[in-house]
Structures are given as structure tokens and as C-alpha cells.
Structure 1
Amino acid sequence: MHEPPEIHVEQLPGLVLGGFFDRAEIADAGVVDKHVDPAGNRDFKKSDFEWLGVIACLKNSGMPVKQIRQYIEWGMEGDDTLKQRLGVFETHRNAVLEKIAELQGYMNKIDDKIRYYKTAIAHGTTAVHAETDCVFTEAP
């Protein structure tokens, strides 16, 4: 059987792990081959890319390294850990949804300020907002 060619991770746009891969000791978990070519580039086989894609997704969406390593360990253990791995993704999904909601709140504030400044620029002054500004008072 012919072995697929090795590919440098640098050849894959969007899969940016930088030094994370080594710092997190992902290679030591046995998920992917630890081969490094003479130029110092880590080589991966096509079979490694599913793992790398999942690892990059978890990392880039804010999962702590410790949890990523736990997920990898469970993955290497096989089908006995299917429920644990599902739990990892369900828990992380909830965390990502919370972060999205937080970011949406920030985006709303940014959009408000964009409207504020566009209106002020259109009228040549921020005084245009004096009539419409809300004044907040503390409840008794």
C-alpha cells in the first residue's frame, strides 16, 4: 500500500497552531507523528489532519490546554470514553455560546457608538444627542 505524502503544516491555510503544539505537548500524547524535517519543519501525514483540525478548533475557541490534552487522551483510549468526549464538546459548546453572547453585547455597544458618531458628524456636533440621551437614575 502506498503511504500518502507528508505535508508541512505551513501548507495548510487556517490551521495555525504555532508553538502551541509543542508547548501543550500534543505530540507527546501520540496523536500525531513527531517527525521534524532537517529544516526544522514538523511533517504531518494526511491522517494527522483530522486531529489537528479538532485541536485547532478547540484551542482557537478558548478551550484550556489541560482540557484539550484530556480530550486527546480519551480519544486515544478508544470507544470506552465516547461519553466523556461528548461531554467535552457539550460543555465547550456552552462556553462558546456564553462567549458569543458576551461578544454580542460588546458589538451592540460598538454599533451604538458608530450610530452616535455618524449622527454627530451628520449634524456637525454631538449636541444633537443632548435631546435623546437617556439619563439613568438608581432605583429607590
Structure 2
Amino acid sequence: MIYTVGEAARQIDVAASTLRYYDKEGLLPFLERSGGGIRMFKDGDLSWLRTIECLKKTGMPIKDIKHFIDYCMEGDSRIDERLEIIRAQRESVIRQMEEMQSMLDMLSYKCWYYETSKEAGTCSIHDDMKKEDVPPEFHKYLNTKL
């Protein structure tokens, strides 16, 4: 099946302008055009676009995505480089997830802190609270206020 820019964009949930930008930046060397120069996206192209979107959402810069796409276009001779790029990005995502989990843990503590403060009518309830009165997962935040 052949898709227009708008149809392809809807398929991967991005703006059509995003696909035009990707094309301008050289991320779509596989893309065919009609005799009139209109971009023609095929089902296989959607897989490429999903990969590009995935890499972008993980924080990979456009220039690095371009290198990855270029290596893909070169074929099997660049498998090692492609694997290294994907492994490095995977590690980056793991670090991001660990950081996000840490932030979520802190926010969970703050929710508990303010819920118990609200119930007591004051934040000073925590001043005399014993460690055993605090859920174990929040012990590392015991000296955190505000």
C-alpha cells in the first residue's frame, strides 16, 4: 500500500511536518517519490519511521539517527556499528529509567508526606514521627522537608 505524508504521519502518530523534516535532514533515504516529486510511503517505510521515532523519543540526536540510518543503508557491512549504536542507546534509556524511578520514588514520598500532613492538619506532625511510623520505602527521605 502507498501512503501520503499525512497518512504515514497518522500511522506513526506524528505530524506530517515531522516527516518532511526527517526527509530534509536525510533520515529517509529509502523513500521513493512519484514522477511529480511527491513522497510515497510504503508499509516497509513505516517500520523505518517507527524506528526513527523510537530513537528520537529516547533522546538520540537527529545527527546520530542519521548515522544509524546511513549505516543501515550500507547493509550488512555495518552491522557492528549499528549494534553498537543500539546498545549505547539502550544503556542510555536504562539510565534514564533509573533516574525517572528515583524521581517517582521521591514524588511518592512527597505524596505520603503531604497526605499525612493534611490528615493531621499540619506538617509538624513529621517532627516527632518515629522511623517505624514511616513506610520503609520512604526511610531514605526522612530528613527531607518542604
Q: CA deviation at 1:60?
A: 0.7
What is the aligned counterpart of 1:121 among 118, 123, 127? 118
Contact 1:29 1:73 in 2 (8 A): no
Q: 1:130 matched to which residue of 2?
A: 127
Q: CA deviation at 1:21?
A: 3.5
Q: 2:13 matched to which residue of 1?
A: 15
Name whichever of 17-26 and 73-82 sits farther off: 17-26
What is the aligned counterpart of 1:91 among 84, 88, 106? 88
Unmatched segments (≥5 aa) in structure 2: 130-140
- TM-score between the two structures when normalised by the length of structure 2: 0.74
Q: 1:17 to 1:86 in 2, by over 3 A?
A: farther
Supply the distance in 2 between the matched residues of 1:111 and 1:48 (Cα, whole angstroms): 42
Supply the distance in 2 between the matched residues of 1:123 and 1:10 (Cα, whole angstroms): 52
Compare the two structures and name the one with the higher helix fraction. 2
Q: 1:6 to 1:19 in 2, by over 3 A?
A: closer
Q: CA deviation at 1:23?
A: 3.5
Supply the distance in 1 between the matched residues of 2:42 and 2:48 (Cα, whole angstroms): 11
Q: 1:30 matched to which residue of 2?
A: 29
Sequence identity percentage: 27
Indicate the RMSD between aligned Cα atoms, in angstroms. Answer: 2.6
When the two structures are aligned, how many residues end up with a matched partner?
128
Greater relative CO, 1 or 2 (CA 8 Å, sep 6+): 1
Contact 1:120 1:126 in 2 (8 A): yes
Q: 1:34 to 1:63 in 2, by over 3 A?
A: farther
